[in-house]
Each structure stands twice: as C-alpha cells, then as structure tokens.
Amino acid sequence: MINSRFIFKRIKRMVLKASDPVLSIASLPMLLSIGDWLYIMKKIENGKLPNLSNDEKKAKIRKHTNIITFKDVEGNDEAKLELKEILAFIKHPKKFSDLGARIPKGVLLYGPPGTGKTLMAKALAGEAGVPFLSMSGSEFVEMYVGVGASRVRDLFKEGRKKAPCIIFIDEIDAVGRQRGAGVGGGNDEREQTLNQLLVEMDGFDANKGIFVVAATNRTDILDPALLRPGRFDRRIVVDRPDLRGRLNILKVHTRRKPLANEMDLEVLARRTPGFTGADLSNMVNEAAILAVRKGKICIEMDDMEEAVERIVAGPERKGRFMNARDKKLTAYHEAGHVLVAMLLRHADPIHRVSIIPRGQAGGYTLTLPKEDRCYFTRSEIFDRIKILLGGRAAEFLTFKETSTGVQNDLIQATELARKMICEYGMSDTLGPVALSRSQEQVFLGRDIARGPINSQEIDYTIDKEIHHILDSAYEKAEEIITSNLDKLRLIATTLLEREKLDGAELSQLLGRLDTDDDENE
C-alpha cells in the first residue's frame, strides 16, 4: 500500500528547505504533478475512480411516444423528398438490391442553425417506424483516453442489436473535424474517436440494417474521409425556408392556437425573410405571451407584428429616457432612411418606422420585401448602401454634425461595399476576381498556418474602392435629401408626434413620390 501522505510531506519539506527561493518556486509544478499522481493512485487503491464502462457510454434510445412524421415538418420540400427516398431504402431494401443498387450508408443534413435538421431526422425515424438511437458529437469527447472510441463502438453495437435502425449523430462537427488540424498537431482523443467512427461506418465489419444520419452547420471543417462515398453517400441541404415555406411553417405552429379573424399569415411570411423554422416558432410563442400579457383571449395581428419587431430589433424600451434633443436627432435620422428608401427604384417598400427605442437602437426602420430574392445586382446593393447612409446625411444637413447613432449603419454599409469588391467582383478597378476566401467562418486549426490572401498593393486598392463606393453613395443620399428637405421635416415632425408610422401612413403623408431614375455609380 502506498503511503502517499508520507511521500508528499517529505517532498514538501525538501522544497521548503531549499536554499535558493527561485529553485523552490520552480519546484512547485513538479510537486503539484506528484500530488496529482498520488491522489489518483490513492483513488485506485480505494476503488473510487469513475466507472466509464457502463451507462456513460450508452447511446440514448428514443422511444416513439410522440411520433413525428413528415406532416409535422414544413419549409424544406426538397429535403423532405430526398429523405422520403431514403425511407424507401429502409422499408423496401430488396426492391433496390434486386436491381443491383447499393443502399446508401449515411446521409448528412447540413444548413444554418434552426432550420430543422434534427426535426427532419426524427421525422425520418417516425415514418420508418424503426428504433432511433441518438447521440450528440460532444457526448463522444471525454478527457479520458479511449472513452470516445469506446462510445462509438457501443453505439454501433447497440445499433446492430436493434437493426434495422437509425443512428443519429447531432452536431457531428464536434467529433468529425479534420484530422491534423489541431494547433498542437497531436493525435488527440477526438481524432481517435473519429477514426473509430470511420471504421464503424465503412470498415471490414458489415453493419447491415444500420442507417446513419448526421447533422451539422459546419461542413467546411469536416474530415474529407467522413464525406467520401461509402460513408455519407447523401448530403442534403436544409436551408432557410422561402416565402411559401415560411407560410407553411406558420400554419404548423399556429395550428392549435386561437387566432383572431384578421390574422394574415401571408403578410407575416413576407415580413420575415431569412427567418428559420426556429425563429418562426419563437415568433409565434412570443406573440402568444404578449397576448396573455395584454389579457386577450386570442392572438391578434398586432401581437404577431410586435413579436417580429422584438426578434429583429429587440424589446421596446419605453422606460428609457431620451431628452428632447436625442428624440429629435433620432426622428431626423430615421426620416433620412425613410426618405431615401422611398425615392429609390431598387428599395423595398417601407413597412414601419419608429423612434421608440428597442434593444440597443434608439429607433428603427423596417422594410417589407415584395418577394424573396436569391440574387442582387450592383445597382440594388448600391441603393441599399445609400439607404444606410441616409440617416447620417439627414443628421448632418439638419444639425451640421453627426452623432454616434450612425455606428451600425456605417458597419453594414462598409461590409456591403467590401463584399461588392472582394466577393462579387463588382469593382471596375479590380475587375471580376475573388479577393477573399469562400468560407465565412474561420477554422483556427486550418487557417492559422495560412498567410494573407492579398498583397499590400491589392489591400490598398480595396480600401480605396471601398471609400469610393461609400463616398459616392453618401453624396447621392445627401443630394436626394437636399432636394426634399420639406418632406424630411414633415416625416420627422410627424414621428415626433406619433412615435411610429407604418407604410400606409407614410404614403398618405407624402403622397406619390417620383423615384430616382439616375444611373448608379
């Protein structure tokens, strides 16, 4: 038996008696390491080390008490169609094997967060009526060497017992990222776990009846061996829903909720471009909470509108004190956005403008796109930059100086100008060339060794082009406002009186405005 207390005291006495204080301090890490080793040895003697061989390595088996089917999933018809074909593989494998078709071993669902990847996998299991085993990628990773690989083996061993079954690995990027991309370059526990997963999916041992489904929003960092045919044969994108998809999602989430007769879900679908299924679910829930707070017996349209604004701009902060000058500054700033937007050809119609603070914003202007768009022209992006700079132009023309309220507008305008030059090839000087890497998110393990993508001369030219675009857009916005100062004052004074105006009220206030037909820079 190890007398750990005696050994620890002897080492401590040796360090304290050292004549050199620097040596004593330098010996402390060694003392702590020995102490840790003695502590572990003591635990081994007493049998108190954690047991990692049983329940902690088991997969979670989902029992279908509340079965989810494809009827409960809306917004991604193409993904559903792909999964229905996978369902045919699971239910009728002989039909495909008779024609010599090889059944796919796995499918990877990828797309932005909140688009319903996990829900799609659950619906696939519900339609197939087979056991559904699931683990998240983070559950494989442990500080103890070999535990992750052991959990992978246990997961597939359980799957072979339950076959035919579906194994679902959520957030697979936690364990499936590229090997050799660690900053230290070592073969860490995560890589051993990935190696075991690769073997289980396409090794010498056949896993008949096991179908692997995984979900991630970072396909760019996954190991190529994981994505090759024979492992994840199918890759299905689960993207943000379009207008029709958002309408169908809203119908699903409002199915069992009392709605007012004037509720128009199509308008709400148009109001929420870029919203994911999770965003829409949250919006409907926020509207229900607001309706209860106001003592209503059903959800009305203004509750939904308020919920959208809460998600986009944050909750109203009516208690936030704004003095008369700040309120006037905000009114003219938002009036500048509105006026420039209403006088440009490529701008979306104004839906609502408000000077009631929300979140960190003192005011906000919301637009209502006429339709969903996949692509935008140079003129359309340039007009959007003009609208963003319209608030600053209105402040300067009214008060002869600008405020800190233009910060977010400048950030967005600069980012749009940079994308025009570096990603979209819309610069006359630099021409049609991509000057930035394709991935938007950085993967440190891969990108840390990469040098700058552009030369100093190119970077200097990019900066000049950004300044040229922003200066041209600002001059145009300033010109529009200067020619319509009376309308700017009318919008601002009305906002000071009412605090909030919608699109119909603005049209009634200003009448028909002739849009600017000049060619953009």
In order, the DSSP letters of 76-93 are: -HHHHHHHHHHHHHHH-H
- Is residue 437 within a helix (H) or strand (E), and if so which, with residue range? none
How confident is the prediction for the chain on average, in pLDDT? 80
User: Is the distance from CB of 392 to CB of 474 less than 8 angstroms?
Assistant: yes
AA identity, residue 504: A
Residue closest to 278 by CA, chosen among 313, 314, 241, 244 = 241
Cβ burial, residue 325 (10 Å; 0-12/13-18/19+): exposed
| pLDDT band at residue 33 using 50, 70 and 90 as cut-offs | low
- Using only C-alpha atoms, the chain has a radius of gyration, in whole angstroms, of 30
Residue closest to 130 by CA, chosen among 86, 175, 74, 96 = 86
Q: Could you tell me which residues are annotated as the binding site?
A: 111-118, 333, 337, 409
AA identity, residue 472: S
Same fold: 243-313 with 324-510 = no
Range scoring the smallest mean pLDDT among 185-189, 348-352, 404-408: 185-189
- The most confident of the ranges 10-19, 57-66, 298-307, 424-433 is 298-307
Domain ranges of the chain: 4-46, 55-237, 243-313, 324-510
Q: Catalytic: 334?
A: yes
Model confidence at 12: pLDDT above 50: yes
At the fourth CATH level, which superfamily is domain 324-510? Peptidase M41 (1.20.58.760)
In angstroms, the CA 261 to CA 97 distance is 53
Topology annotation, domain 243-313: Helicase, Ruva Protein; domain 3 (1.10.8)
* pTM exceeding the 0.85 threshold for the entire prediction: no
Exactly one of 127, 139, 171, 334 is catalytic; name it.
334
Is the pLDDT higher at 65 or at 422? Answer: 422
Q: Could you tell me which residues are annotated as the binding site for ATP?
A: 111-118
Using a pLDDT cut of 70, give the percent of the chain over it: 78
Range scoring the smallest mean pLDDT among 164-168, 261-265, 508-512: 508-512
Those residues whose C-beta lies under 8 Å from the C-beta of residue 424, and which sit 6 or more positions away, are: 378, 381
- Is residue 110 within a helix (H) or strand (E), and if so which, with residue range? strand 106-110
Pairing of strands 500-502, 350-354: antiparallel
Q: Could you tell me which residues are annotated as the binding site for Zn(2+)?
A: 333, 337, 409
Model confidence at 301: pLDDT above 50: yes
CA angle 262, 496, 471 (to 5 degrees): 100
Those residues whose C-beta lies under 8 Å from the C-beta of residue 139, and which sit 6 or more positions away, are: 151
Residue closest to 159 by CA, chosen among 139, 137, 134, 142 = 134
* Residue 334: both structure tokens together: 């938002």
**Number of C-beta neighbours around residue 235 at 10 A:** 14
Residue range 412-434: mean pLDDT, rounded = 89
Class of domain 55-237 (CATH, top level): alpha beta
In angstroms, the CA 87 to CA 218 distance is 25
